Chains A and B, each alone.
Chain A
Amino acid sequence: MTSSGERVGSLAEIQDWLRRAVTAPGGVRAALRDAAARHEALPVRVPPGVPPAERLAIYARGYLDRLLSCLRADYPATRALVGDEIFDGFAIEYLRARPPRHPSLFQLGDGFAAHLASTCPDDGAVAADRRSWLRLPIDLARLERARLEAIRAPGLEAEAAEAPGVGPGALLGAERERQLVAAPCLRLVELEHDPRPFLAAVDRGEPPGAPEPRRMSLAISRFEYRITMTETAAWQHQVLMACRTPCSLAALVDRAAPDHGADRGAALAALLVWLPVAEGLGLIRRHGGARR
């Protein structure tokens, strides 16, 4: 014990004291001032040399630096868009609103795009011709999170090579009763810009151009360990949404028909052309295919 005051004694008390000290929004020195105001004795030793505040600050810096590094690595394009200072401001605000509660750092950025959306200024904050820019960081963050999830989720790489595909012959022939299902690594996002060229430029380390505002749906998935990002028509988006649970071709025709003038024949024809393409992009597979 190094100073007079109420003893922080049990293991749980010591750990909670340290947690509060190294994560205090005002920093370690503010936390120590608060502890002194509560007449708490320091639970840390004070040897000659480096003072306790500096020792605690090593952990405090480590905590924040590690989490910031993780968010910067997960959202490089969002960071490139807004710049280091603003990105770190967003990230610190996010970490305070939602401190990490999962042992995996992969989960850390799970709610970052939603946080940006919930703290986005009202449209009235900027001129009408610039309003879409407010939502540009949100779009990028949503796309980057979807890509990260698609990289890590179970994919179709281990599907049996000999398994029949979803070509027109299979769909209309002996396999007609077979259901289709979305790939486990498929992620669907609806955006107000097309951020793909921006993301690609950042990936290459090149200066990106500003994305133009344009409402679009994207299907993000993985094929042979390579990420695919495919713009989808409204009916294709509906079909992929339906495939989150196994779906028959007839059910998919129902989903596609409204966008084909309620013409089920036209919807079936469109599906027969598009489903093999979707399979090739790693978006869907036959239900019941072997999976790792």
Chain B
Amino acid sequence: MPAPRLGLPQLGLGVGLRHCHFQHLLRNPPRVAWFEIISENFLGDHGFARHVLERLARDLPIVMHGVSLSIGSTDPLDLDYLAELRALAAWLEPPWISDHLCWTGVAGHQLHDLMPMPLTEDALDHVVERVLRVQDFLGRPLVLENPSTYLELAASTMPEWEFLSAVARRTGCGLLLDVNNVFVSSYNHGFDPEAYVRGLPHDHIVQLHVAGPTLYGSHDRYLVDTHDHPVPTEVWRLYRLAQELTGGVSTLLEWDAAIPAYPDLVAEAEKAHQVLAGELPAVPLSGPVRDGAHANPFPAGVIHDLVR
């Protein structure tokens, strides 16, 4: 039986490091124990973002979380991408490197989305073989996260927690349990989210993610993993269960759209302490928020005034 968390450290409470908080973090203490970056945002970036990362890494552990490994794809592993990832890791020295159980492109076409796997024995063999190769390449265990899914493949023969458990046992990889993703997928597919969390090998779980999803569709028919809301009560309930079953692992709040000011982000993450003390925040599920991040202040287009 492996050591809890594969022997990796319990980092405590962290938040995702996002560009909009850089200036705040250069002037103020981080008030969290660790950060997680989206690895791809820093690959090939040697400018201010890398400078900020270097400054923060002096004081805090920074975990690398990727979205482009495409571990389940039938395309060959992208060795250039892996080499860049390894080089960034050699510079940053993250406690671990994570990505998702999914595929993000095929036939050379990058979808830049976490696409669902058919959960079959063939797919399991395929993923296991690739995880082993990636671990050899990186020289460390990979940590794999369960994705949110919006459809299931007809070919699937096992539930996702069984698939992930088998990958973990056969490769020795770690697991990043995103309890929000469990909740989103359970809502969309009608399975018991607690059975999912109970069904995983808890000694392989290295980290937990919490986030807020969005209700969509008439009669709130499905949930989408938007990372743009406070964490709802149901997700905190799964979080508490996961912490009980694992004995306590690193926790990270993800927030990627309509991102609040840094102090508010930290306040949201700190609700995890309240949850572990036995008090579940009362936060209902809700619908889309307006994302002003890409709002265009000149909707008509300046060139239209020229033409008139």
Please list the residues of chain A having a beta carbon within 8 angstroms of any beta carbon in chain B.
1-2, 9-12, 14-16, 18-19, 22-23, 41-45, 47, 49-50, 52, 54-56, 58-59, 62-63, 66-67, 69, 72-73, 76, 79-87, 99-106, 130, 133, 136-137, 151-155, 157, 185, 198, 202, 205, 207-208, 210, 222, 225, 292
Contacts and interface: CB of A to CB of B under 8 A. Distances in A.
B301 A14 contact: no
A8 to B, nearest CB: 8
A55 B154 CA distance: 14
23 contacts: A11-B72, A11-B118, A15-B74, A16-B107, A44-B151, A44-B154, A52-B151, A54-B222, A58-B150, A58-B216, A59-B111, A59-B115, A62-B113, A67-B112, A80-B302, A82-B301, A83-B300, A99-B109, A99-B110, A103-B70, A207-B298, A225-B48, A292-B46
B103 A15 contact: yes
B78 to A, nearest CB: 6
Contacts of A292: 46
Contacts, number: 182
B289 to A, nearest CB: 15
A78 B153 CA distance: 41
B107 A19 contact: yes
Given A19-B107, A136-B303, A225-B48, 10 more contacts: A11-B72, A43-B153, A43-B155, A45-B154, A55-B150, A59-B113, A72-B296, A81-B302, A84-B299, A105-B40
Q: Which 6 residue pairs across A and B have the least CB separation, nearest first? A: A83-B301, A103-B68, A55-B151, A12-B74, A154-B46, A80-B298
Interface of B: 40, 43-49, 51, 68, 70, 72-74, 78, 81, 103-113, 115-116, 118, 120, 122-123, 126, 150-156, 188-190, 216-217, 221-222, 224, 293-294, 296-307
Given A50-B188, A56-B151, A80-B298, A14 B303 contact: no
**Interface majority SS (helix, strand, loop, mixed), chain A:** helix
Contacts of A76: 296
B111 A23 contact: yes
A157 B81 CA distance: 26
Nearest to B226: A62
